[in-house]
Amino acid sequence: MHTAEIGVRIDRILIARVTSALSSCCAELVYSHGYQVENGMAPTIIASNGQPVADMVYESKYKFDVHPSYRSRNMWIHKDICRFHGDETRVAETQNITPLCVDDRVEIAVNLFNGKGMVDIPNIKWRPLRRDAIGVRECYIEEDLMDWYDLDSFQAQSVEKLQIPDFFAPQMTHDTTEYTGIDVAVSRTRLVASAIGVVPQADRFLGSRFEVLTCRFAEFGLRQTS
């Protein structure tokens, strides 16, 4: 986590197996909590409405799509690369609704302590599990992009020096790459998870650590702009 000052965060990780009761739906798991008041005194952190943090209720939400067992899944990852407007953003943005399959393991972090103080653990309240239909999970940058070209076709009308981003083998093998854009060149790459292990070049190119845990050959979509 990136914080303004060095601090400590403590979580209790709940590990659970996804059952067939959630198959083919989007599951939403929510819990609420407040913060403890030390020695009968209000904490030093005051919210914008003038109330102390201990009097406020916060929510933590986990949302994931559950597919049938052993079905292939797509996950998009987006990163902007700009050479003209300041420093490049190093960390890529990932899809915030995780695709899972029945019998997968899911980890839920329950926060106990963070920079705001100690969580009032006895008053943690879990809401009933919510089920919704699975929606279309596309990278938002593609909403206004229509025409995609292969490398040779796009290179002929672009001054950018383009290359196929085949940087993540052998854990993730390159499948296809397409290009689009007028003022800004946008590439869309599909990678297929094909071997178990940590992806060596993920931290260098995406700023995050990625690891393939199983050989269910889940598909990952990589979006990279320049």
Q: Looking at the structure, tell me whether residues 106 and 143 fall in a common domain.
A: no
Three-state SS letters, 29-67 = EEEEECECCHHHCCCCCECCCCCEHHHCCEEEEEEEEEE
pTM above 0.85?
A: no
* 126 and 33 both lie in a single domain: yes
CA angle centred on 21, ends 16 and 27, rounded to 5°: 70
Q: Can you tell me the distance from the alpha carbon of 44 to that of 132, in angstroms, rounded to the nearest whole number?
A: 40
Same domain, 175 and 210: yes
Residue 10 inside a domain? The answer is: yes
Together in a domain, 177 and 217 = yes
Which residue segment(s) compose the domain that 185 sits in? 138-226
Would 183 be classed as within a structural domain? yes
Number of folded domains in the chain? 2
For residue 11, tell me if it sits in a domain. yes
Same domain, 106 and 158: no
**Domain match, 130 and 143 both:** no
Residues 6+ away with beta carbon under 8 Å from 209: 198, 199, 202, 203
- Both 113 and 22 in one domain: the answer is yes
Q: What pLDDT digit, counting tens, does each position of 159-194 carry?
A: 677 778 888 989 999 999 998 877 778 888 999 988
Does residue 58 sit in the same domain as residue 118? yes
Residue 89 falls inside a structural domain? no
Q: Give the mean pLDDT of 107-124.
A: 89
pLDDT (tens digit per residue) in 119-148: 989 989 999 999 999 988 888 888 778 888
Average pLDDT, the chain: 81
Task: List, for residues 18-53, the tens digit of each pLDDT value.
Answer: 999 999 999 999 999 988 876 554 455 566 666 655
In this prediction, residue 222 carries a pLDDT of: 43
- 64, 151: one domain: no
Query: Is 83 part of a structural domain of the chain?
Result: no
Q: Are residues 208 and 175 in the same domain?
A: yes
Residues 11 and 108 in one domain: yes
From 135, 161, 192, give the residue that closes a domain: 135
Q: Out of 21-30, 66-75, 96-105, 209-218, pick the least confident.
A: 209-218
If one counts every other C-beta atom within 10 angstroms of the C-beta of residue 133, the result is: 8
Tell whether 22 and 111 lie within a shared domain. Answer: yes
